[in-house]
A and B are shown apart, each in its own frame.
Chain A
Amino acid sequence: MGRRGSKKKKAQMMILNEVKKQLLLQAERWGKAGYYTPLKLEEMELEACKRIIGDLLAEKNNLDYQMNMLAENRKEIDMKLQRLSVYLTKADRVAKSHDKNIEKILDKLIGDRKKTLGALERVKFKEAQAISVLISDN
């Protein structure tokens, strides 16, 4: 990708950021100030990414069928399949990056993960004990 392409991408990203900013501002004015957190936005992006992966896979199946059943334009279909596989690997990578981002945000929210997990286990153990006591009483 040349300098022209990167400029175009930069401009597109700026527009997208502006759209996001305006939508979040509107939501804030409607009284949902804290609803669209970074975590929520990351989840949205991950969901969209998964949807795109589903669409790509459906297209790949379609092209595979055309490749196997129809004899026309095999070269073109082959090129399309190659392109699709590239997109699919990229989409997987993007989805993983979003997953990582979500984990990071959750870690920030939770704090020390080991301590939280230990506390959770203790709470579960206490609940199980209370249930066993209730059963023995009955």
Chain B
Amino acid sequence: MSELTNVHSDLASAKFYGSRSEQAKQQEALKQAVKQDPSTTTGIQWAQTQAVQQAQSGEQAAQVANAAKPADAKGANAQSESYDIVQPNLEDVAMLTTTVSTNESEVAASKAGMVRRFVAGRLNMGALETSYKEYFKKSKSHNLLLERFMANVKFSAMKMLMSALGVSAEEQVQMQAEVREEALKEIDSKLQNDWAYTKAMMDITG
């Protein structure tokens, strides 16, 4: 009885290892002669494959092969042609399944101020500076609600934008000083030429 069980176990292990080695051999024997034929409408690439199945050697292997795939055992060097969609390579799969950047440009450290320069190149900096000065000037207006409040809001937004575009604090302070000088000159000339002259004229002619 014990001998019978030993024979059974030997046969089972032989079947198991035989099927494993058969699969490995089949995979090695499968040579794909790829002829790529890209579709013009969808962009899908088709490949013509030629599967070459070599004759199996050994009785056990043949038995296992016959048991597993009886339809395939038609003889030595059986060839079959089929068309398949080109499968992605290992590199492509790796690219799809991982989030790690593999391109040098992606891995390289970003150059300082690159985005800023890009945005600044697209925007008209002269116009921005003019509006910045205008809003700063209006923020000092005598009119509390209509001018000063809104101008303050706009000026704060412009300040943030200019800072984001890379205009330094020193440059902003310089611009503000220029605006201040201009505004004070304007106030002085208005007081001298408009107010004082008109008042004197009214005193004389009125």
Contacts and interface: CB of A to CB of B under 8 A. Distances in A.
Interface residues of B, number: 23
Nearest to B203: A94
B182 to A, nearest CB: 10
A73 to B, nearest CB: 22
A44 B140 contact: no
A77 B10 CA distance: 143
A1 to B, nearest CB: 8
A82 interface: no
Interface stretch (A29-37, A99-107, A109-117, A125-133): A29-37
Contacts, number: 75
A49 B142 CA distance: 28
Given A26-B140, A48-B199, A94 B206 contact: no
Given A23-B195, A45-B196, A45-B199, A32 B204 contact: no
B197 A30 contact: no
B194 A49 contact: no
B116 interface: no
Nearest to A25: B142
A76 B11 CA distance: 143
A49 B195 CA distance: 12
Interface of A: 9, 12-13, 16, 19-23, 25-27, 29-32, 36, 41, 44-45, 47-49, 51-52, 87, 90-91, 94
11 contacts: A16-B198, A21-B142, A26-B141, A48-B196, A48-B197, A48-B199, A48-B201, A49-B200, A51-B197, A52-B200, A90-B203
Interface of B: 140-142, 180, 183-184, 187, 190-192, 194-206
